[in-house]
Amino acid sequence: MRIVRDTWFLFVPRLQATLRNPIWLLVDLSMPICYLLLFAPLLASLPGGLGIRGGALMTFTPALLVMLSLYSVIFAGYTLVAELRQGVIERLQVTPVSRFALLLGRMVYHVAILLSQALLLLLVAWLLGLRANLAGILVSFLLLILLGVLMASFSYALALSLKNEQTMGPALSLLTTPLLLLSGILLPLDRAPEPLRLLSEIDPLKYAVDVARDLFLGNVWDGKVLQGFIMLVSLALVALWWAASTFRRAIA
């Protein structure tokens, strides 16, 4: 198919540029690894475990994968705005490349980087003693793909709507901070005050964290896992439609 070929054509140069300078892969990984090394041991010593199932690593590692998908992909729109301003997208428009592939190629790149970073994070967790369900880990990579598409699409749509990197930074920070705190990534929300638990019910990251933790415990066929996937697929499709619509208007 043409769109697959064009997407691959746009994906490969970006990947090659990253492989020539892989330091940025480690920069994005630095925060989750610091949390894994410095924060996870604190969870194990909390009185009563605070609702932790399967131990600190089993609870915290899948949550860190969700955190990684947030911080590794959510700023993807910065480069898109810069390329539009510099005329890079305009020059590609005169080629026979599919217009949707212009967006999809960079999205596949960000998802591929996310998966490689997740693999490195899991390797560090395994060295620390993590022993999770193998089938659950494999399915969790499908979850990360969904999150990557969702985060990248939202970032592209927001960037193309604002068309200003200086405005986009504070807007993303204002949005991602409460989403992170209400998702239960740092601490399970089982014993949180009732208002916080109610607010967390509208946080899509909370469902992603719950699904990831269930998968690591081996609950691959649990009904809550299926419901979480359905919700995230729906959100990813809506975000992808929004990104495609704003991109089409931006290059019109």
Each residue's pLDDT, cut to its tens digit, for the chain (252 residues) gives 777 777 787 788 788 877 787 777 777 778 888 888 887 777 666 554 444 555 678 888 898 999 888 888 888 888 877 777 776 666 766 666 777 777 888 899 999 999 999 999 999 889 888 888 899 999 999 999 999 999 999 988 888 888 777 788 788 888 888 888 888 887 777 777 778 788 888 888 888 999 999 999 888 888 889 999 999 999 999 999 998 888 887 776
Contact 218, 136 (CB under 8 A): yes
Q: Please report the pLDDT score of residue 50 as a whole number.
A: 47
Q: Please report the pLDDT score of residue 141 as a whole number.
A: 95
Measure the CA angle with vertex 90, ends 70 and 28; round to 5°.
20
Give the DSSP H or E segment for 24.
Answer: helix 23-38
In whole angstroms, give the CA distance from residue 95 to residue 98.
9
Contact 204, 232 (CB under 8 A): yes
Contact 251, 85 (CB under 8 A): no
Q: Please report the pLDDT score of residue 158 as a whole number.
A: 87
Give the DSSP H or E segment for 201.
Answer: none
Q: In the chain, count of helices (H) and strands (E)? A: 12, 0
What is this structure's pTM? 0.87
In whole angstroms, give the CA distance from residue 234 to residue 80.
24
- DSSP character for 133? -
DSSP assignment of 2-20: HHHHHHHHHHHHHHHHHHH
- C-alpha R_g of the chain: 19
In whole angstroms, give the CA distance from residue 81 to residue 250.
10
Q: Please report the pLDDT score of residue 166 as a whole number.
A: 77
In whole angstroms, give the CA distance from residue 203 to residue 55.
24
- At 220, give phi and psi (nearest 5°): -65, -35
Structure tokens at 37: 């090394």
- Long-range contacts of residues 10-14, Cβ cutoff 8 Å, at least 24 apart: 10/97, 10/101, 10/102, 10/104, 10/105, 10/106, 11/105, 11/106, 11/108, 11/109, 11/112, 14/105, 14/106, 14/109
